[in-house]
Amino acid sequence: MADNYIQMYNKNPAQFVLPSVHKKLLPIIEAFASDVGKFADYIRALRDSCEGAAYDELHDLYRKVSLRALQVVRRQRMRKAVMVINPEVCKRLGRPTTYDEQMDIATCIGSAWEEMRTDMLNKERASLRTKRIPTEEREVILKAFWTNIEKKLDKGEVLLGEHDIDEIVERLK
């Protein structure tokens, strides 16, 4: 229920009205409305303190909220990547890009990142006897991958792997 209220609060905080029967949830809603990831962590901590049906119910909610948190991070990262690369694309095109063109740029970046991530995981698999990367190890590898992407974005660079900005510009012409 708190999750639904948080989503409603985020849509329009000024007009958000919490039913009086749920007023006790207000501190939770206000504390976690701006950070879905922290809300997922809070639910996980609650889940880990429960057993049986309560654990199962909280686990389902945790999965739902953590997936939404991941989607938020992905959207922010892609928005940042488009903002970093868009001025150079505009310069090469000789004009501003439209919203649809920016979505095409995001698609190109996403495809390049997917290719880079897949190549990296395939190289790792090739070095293993079983050709299967343990879950924990895969999480570490992917975290390092995304950390590298984020560091480059912070420096004003977008990693495109074997692709380059000229391919993006050609696609938009």
d(CA 72, CA 94): 32
Q: What is the mean pLDDT of residues 125-154?
A: 93
- pLDDT for 92 equals 95
Query: Looking at the predicted structure, is the pLDDT value of residue 85 above 80?
Result: yes
The pTM score is 0.77
> Contacts for 75-79 with beta carbons within 8 Å, 24 or more apart?
77/146, 77/149, 77/150, 77/153, 78/106, 78/109, 78/110
Query: Looking at the predicted structure, is the pLDDT value of residue 104 above 90?
Result: yes
d(CA 131, CA 139): 16
Determine whether 134 is exposed, middle or buried from the number of CB atoms within 10 Å of its CB (0-12, 13-18, 19+).
exposed
Q: How many CB atoms lie within 10 A of CB 38?
A: 12
- pLDDT for 156 equals 94
Query: Looking at the predicted structure, is the pLDDT value of residue 22 above 80?
Result: no
Name the token pair of 46: 């609650």
Name the token pair of 114: 């997917």
Please, are residues 123 and 96 in contact by the beta-carbon 8 Å criterion? no
One-character DSSP codes across 79-122: HHHHHHHHHHHHHHHTSPPPHHHHHHHHHHHHHHHHHHHHHHHH
- pLDDT for 153 equals 96
